[in-house]
Structure 1
Amino acid sequence: MSVRLTIGLLLNPFAGIGGSVALKGSDGADTVQQALARGAKPLAIERAKMALELLRPYQQQLDFVCAGADMGANCLEALGFNYQVIFQPNVPSEAVDSHGFVNALNQYAQQHHIDLLLFAGGDGTARDVCGFIDERIPVLGIPAGCKIHSGVYAVTPIAAGRMVEQMAQGELLSLAEANVMDIDETAFRQGIVRAKRYGEMTIPDDLRYVQSVKSGGKESDELVLQDIAAEVIDLTEDGLAIMGSGSTVAAVMAQMDLTNSLLGVDVIAQGELMASDQTANQLLTHVQLAQDEGTPCKLVITVIGGQGHVFGRGNQQLSPALIRTLGVENIIVVATKNKLQSLQGRPLIADTGDAELDQMLSGYIRVVTGYRDYVMYPLASPS
């Protein structure tokens, strides 16, 4: 199974430039100039090409959005990939250009689905990304710097390319939170290693699909449903939530001690049942009124076991108008890993009756599989 992906690409062309000339880092314009004066050659673009070369067989499936010139566009142009420039950096580029691109990517993601931000650099680049990236966008680093203490990087450029290749092939990837670390370069040059944590970002993790969840090395659905319910409560407690049909959502509502319409769609507000078994028009009215009052709104839905439908089977109350009004970013898909595994690699399906919306929903989505536990899983339209 192949999946079409939209990938943000950011290259720090001067990452690692100080290493070969004994500057022990590349942070700061002065260090870059010193490195160039000593004859250092930028290697980050070549490191990025090592990862991207593996993806050339998937060119027709990959759409890149990137920064201009050496921060992305030149590399993609040389390899023949489809790309769109959404930010023009300074020449030569500076750290502020990384900030500018990430902000531009966040704005782009408000209207378009972004499956991954792929960036090449070192710990300084990871810090630049972490400080600005929308937390809903998974990231993966191509190691190209002198200092790689952060857990957001693949072990090698080839490994980064392999992970994106897995996504293009439709393989299931777990999501994990990884720390962004950096050391004090001034202290490092004096022989002192002083690392500091600057935050965390979400990365696609190596697949360990059926992992131990409190019960003898296998997933216990009863315990997992409790964990899923706890995560949904955290995500919805301050606003309005449309609770879709299905046994997994019913189990979530049971954990909240709320009555559920198993084959219907209910509405909860601030953790209390507001309305049961609602029609499409009623649901749209609830959301519009809540949004007018500034109340956050979410949609909680599950997967039909064995079939993989998320929209279009048994939940026609979730109309295209409702989904568009809510926004893709406010859809929470819940499922046990056992249920996902039963699909045997087939993608989830969106069949809303609106072909344009189905295409907009397609791509990798986060599925809540436990408390602070997510899986990246492909969703496709009928076409």
Structure 2
Amino acid sequence: MHTLGVVVNPIAGMGGRVGLKGTDGKVAEARARGAEPRAPDRAREALARVRELAPDTEVLTYGGAMGADPARAAGFEPTVVGHPDGEETAPSDTRAAVREFLARGVDLVLFVGGDGTAVDVAEAIGDDDTPMLGVPAGVKVYSEVFGVRPRAAGQVAATFEDTEPGEVNDIDEDEYREGEVHTELRGVVQVPVAEERQSSKQLGGGTVEGVAEGVAREASAGVTYVLGPGSTVGAVKAQLGFEGTALGVDVWRDGEVLVEDASEAEILDALGEENVVVVSPIGGQGFVFGRGNQQISPAIIRRCRVEVVASKRKLDGIGVLRVDTGDPDLDEELRGWLQVRVGRYERRLMEVV
């Protein structure tokens, strides 16, 4: 029986769907744009999987939305070891919770958030050899300490036997919002050995000119194109005649940019009768949806044809594609074999798992 220390960053990921590319220092703005917390629901989803597989698991956690509420919603009666200091939770609360878990000898620290939360957990663990595992809930999820989806994280937490070193990476959100991505290694920690854990994001790439030319050549009149973030889709935007938002989502139709750096609501308003969403998988991880492009919500995906584009080099380093839309039914619909554009005319079959 494992003893889990569970800590949730309740505000993690709130900025994603409203186009903020992160929530650090932007909680009030995210709420003003209508953002809703997503981390507690993802915590409950992960813990429900733990309860399915290991119902005798002992759960230690912090009070309220920092863990106790989602743990109870998943069917556990957790031991509450502390409460946040203020009405709004802070990184200091996360670190205090982890230190208390370590003092009580948990087998695993299961945290819910993004890379910023991962850094806080890693700093609190320090030189301790207690492993950590993340339930992905943030906009930035670049580290290799996360499960590929909430249920996958729960499965790993309930069943892992061995651990190995894993990297904790983070980026500067202000630079990220300006279109610059510079990852920084913030720590190496012990993580469970599992196939359902994601790889560290690789920033390498290859030539994408042919891919971009192919998409632009086939752009059809009257069709609305939802163009995701990243350098590969950025090349598509350039071929369509505009610079675009490097790390945001832009909407284009018939030679006109309808919305730049769009939120979920703005994308939905701009959709037409026929729509295409163009995205590229994250290098090293293979995520098509659910990492850095949460503005492209399930409601949007259901109204669009999905066009995945990538260089051959990127696909060679991935193996499979992954989705984590936040809607398990949609994730299941998207799984299977998909044709990925890798050149002007060439496509490659890739499996979405």
Structure-2-length-normalised TM-score: 0.53
Distance 1:59 1:151, change over 3 A: closer
C-alpha contact (below 8 Å) 1:121/1:143 kept by paired residues: yes
Please show how residues 58-73 of structure 1 align to structure 2 within 5 Å. 58=53, 60-73=55-68
Task: State the distance in 2 between where 1:64 and 1:160 align.
Answer: 15
Displacement of 1:59 in angstroms is 5.8
Paired residue for 2:45, among 50, 73, 85? 50
> Which AA in structure 2 matches 1:177?
P
> Which AA in structure 1 matches 2:10?
P
C-alpha contact (below 8 Å) 2:129/2:189 kept by paired residues: no
C-alpha contact (below 8 Å) 2:145/2:168 kept by paired residues: yes
Query: Aligned to 1:131, what secondary structure does the other structure show?
Result: helix
Task: State the distance in 2 between where 1:149 and 1:60 align.
Answer: 31
User: Per-residue CA shift, 1:161-185, capped at 9, x if unaligned?
Assistant: 1212324xxxxx3311111100111
Paired residue for 1:152, among 123, 145, 155? 145
> Which AA in structure 1 matches 2:108?
L
2:157 alignment partner in structure 1: 164
C-alpha contact (below 8 Å) 1:6/1:64 kept by paired residues: yes
C-alpha contact (below 8 Å) 2:46/2:152 kept by paired residues: yes
1:99 alignment partner in structure 2: 95
Q: Structure 1 stretch 68-77 or stretch 82-91: which is displaced more?
A: 82-91
2:10 alignment partner in structure 1: 13
Are 1:122 and 2:119 matched, yes or no? no
Task: State the distance in 2 between where 1:190 and 1:40 align.
Answer: 21
C-alpha contact (below 8 Å) 2:53/2:155 kept by paired residues: no
Distance 1:60 1:162, change over 3 A: closer
User: Per-residue CA shift, 1:22-63, capped at 9, x if unaligned?
Assistant: 1111113xx011101110000011111221121223564111
Distance 1:165 1:107, change over 3 A: closer
Task: State the distance in 2 between where 1:44 and 1:207 align.
Answer: 23
Please show how residues 1-383 of structure 1 align to structure 2 within 5 Å. 4-28=1-25, 31-58=26-53, 60-89=55-84, 90-109=86-105, 114-134=106-126, 135-167=128-160, 173-206=161-194
Aligned residues: 194
C-alpha contact (below 8 Å) 1:6/1:115 kept by paired residues: yes
User: Per-residue CA shift, 1:276-331, capped at 9, x if unaligned?
Assistant: xxxxxxxxxxxxxxxxxxxxxxxxxxxxxxxxxxxxxxxxxxxxxxxxxxxxxxxx
Query: Aligned to 2:31, what secondary structure does the other structure show?
Result: helix
Q: Pairwise CA RMSD of aligned residues? A: 1.7
Query: Aligned to 1:132, what secondary structure does the other structure show?
Result: helix
C-alpha contact (below 8 Å) 2:98/2:109 kept by paired residues: no
Structure-1-length-normalised TM-score: 0.49
Displacement of 1:76 in angstroms is 1.1
Query: Aligned to 1:65, what secondary structure does the other structure show?
Result: strand
Larger radius of gyration: 1
Task: State the distance in 2 between where 1:25 and 1:60 align.
Answer: 34
> Which AA in structure 1 matches 2:96?
G
Displacement of 1:106 in angstroms is 2.4
| Structure 1, unpaired ranges of 5+ | 168-172, 209-383
| Structure 2, unpaired ranges of 5+ | 197-353
User: Per-residue CA shift, 1:151-207, capped at 9, x if unaligned?
Assistant: 11111112111212324xxxxx33111111001111111111111111111001127
Task: State the distance in 2 between where 1:151 and 1:207 align.
Answer: 11
